[in-house]
Amino acid sequence: MISSALKAKFDSVLSGRQLAEPAINFTDPDFFDEVPLYARYNEVDFLKEYGDVNLLLIELSLDYLERVASQPCASSEQQFVAITVISDDENEYIVPSIFVCNRDVITRLKELHLSASSQGFGQRIKALVKEAERHTTFSVLEDRCTVPDDVRVFISYQSPPGGFVGIHALANGFASPATSNL
């Protein structure tokens, strides 16, 4: 469980990135972007005093994902939200981003091919998500195609809230719209 003091400190980081108010940032029906939750490692150095920085980043990111998903979007179309995670250096902190697509999910994400987490980074993130012990069940998939020789991990709802496309619909590309598991 994340303390309110820790959440407040992380909210300061989000405020510095102008991400503290999901209702302002992500409810535009045309919004489609992936935004890092912090810009420099020193912005999250304070997490060291609370425990495992990467685990705390996962917990805080999942909390933020739930905040974003709880904001109503002006679009009547289905949306997709996830936390994406990259790592530039195994010895540095992970870098989580919020990924939001508010409309035309099938069209906009047709080139995205997610698959089960394999060895290495994907499995490491999957273990951190499991260790976070959230009340919501999340799925962890990875993208190895968008940036060759680099892994980007996607974390999203195993069973998404109403109005959202499930992450498994993106696994290995979309099926046809009539048959996809949205």
Q: What is the pLDDT along the chain (182 residues), one digit of tens a residue?
A: 788 999 999 999 999 999 999 888 898 888 999 999 999 999 999 999 999 999 999 999 999 999 999 987 766 778 999 999 999 888 899 999 999 999 888 889 988 888 888 778 999 999 999 999 888 899 999 988 777 778 899 999 988 888 898 898 877 555 433 333 33
Structure tokens at 173: 């590309």
Reading the block at residue 94, the tokens are 């992970």
pLDDT at 133: 84
pLDDT of residue 177: 39
Residues in the chain: 182
Q: Answer whether residue 47 is part of any domain.
A: yes
The number of CA neighbours under 13 Å toward the Cβ of 103 is 11
Question: Would 176 be classed as within a structural domain?
Answer: no
In a domain, 175, yes or no: no
Extract the tokens encoding 29.
Answer: 């029906």
The closest of 55, 14, 60 to 35, measured between CA atoms, is 14
Residue 165, in any domain of the structure = yes
**Which pLDDT does position 73 carry in this prediction?**
74
**How many domains does the structure of the chain reveal?**
1
pLDDT value for 173 = 54
Domain that holds residue 57: 4-169
pLDDT recorded at residue 68: 93
Residue 179 resides in a domain:
no
Any domain includes 127: yes
